[in-house]
Amino acid sequence: MPSKNHFSTLYLSAPDVIALVQRKGVEACLRGMADYLHADYLRWNAFDKSARVASHSRDGVIELMPIADDQTYAFKYVNGHPKNTRWGLSTVMAFGVLADVATGAPLLLSELTLTTALRTAAMSAVAARALARPGARTMGLIGNGAQSEFQALAFHHLLGIDTLRLFDTDPAATAKLQANLQGTGLRTVVCTSTAEAVRGADIVTTVTADKTNATILTPDMLAPGMHINAVGGDCPGKTELHADVLRQAQVFVEYAPQTRIEGDIQQLPADFAVTELWEVLAGQRAGRASDAAVTVFDSVGFALEDFSALRFLRDAATELGMGQPMELIPELSDPKDLFGVLRTRSPLLRAAA
């Protein structure tokens, strides 16, 4: 509980989070986030949930993603603008807040651009541990852009993937990915098409950026026992999988009301059968039906994952003594007299005098 008349919010800037990840290490952050995610998904019914609120434009989307339990409220602001790289901006940019439910006081304000890539990769690994066949060692990675390294390392460290079969329509993206993965122990094989990249793969991750109804993966590319981690289809009008891929597979989602609007299953009728992942993690529903079954994790990103990521950041920052206090809320000598702050000379004005 904040002290009377004074409250500060912990602020983690982009440089702070970069330094935090460097100090802890990427593997430790992925493992830590995966642990927080798994723990929070097991508390699924404790959360007040809703689909994210999205504002779509010709060039992209801006979204708010809220969620809360009885102690903590969280939200993320995030965009998705595929053309941003033309202007030197990230396709996805984000920040987030943790707040105290009892008082409404904002506890943490943090960057979430880097963090979103980490939490998305950790979530992919959490799902794959529940759905992929044990012993998976080869992954086809379709789309080698900004999130690809995180996906590759999450599957390497958390599932034991040792070989990546890579394809991107931009060869420079693949070269970038290979350079960034040097020294990680991952073997990379550059392929000339999606079909070549998925050949022999135990797991296929699709993480493309174009805001189109694409068919990156088609039914002829499926193999018995394959697990598909479909990450890139995450808003209305943006898909990666041919509809028949979904019809031939067991499909798992984060939060069905949101995924039916945004995920690859938007192509199918509203009564198409899916299983929410939390049910599998909690042991309430079966996962993979057999070694030969094809499983799909139709991942669009859900607010619970940002809740988990923000909790992880707050705890890691506290452990490492990182971040800065921010006076986001005015300090009031009388909480009923907000106007009074304008009658007292501001410290900034005193400093400028």
Residues 120 and 143: beta-carbon distance below 8 Å: no
Dihedral (CA of 211, 212, 213, 218) sign = negative
Dist CA 343 CA 199 (whole Å): 71
Name the active-site residue from 16, 202, 234, 306: 234
Q: What is the dihedral of CA 327, 329, 335, 336, to 10 degrees?
A: 140
Q: How many residues does the chain have?
A: 353
Dist CA 331 CA 70 (whole Å): 26
Active site annotation includes 306: no
Catalytic residues: 234
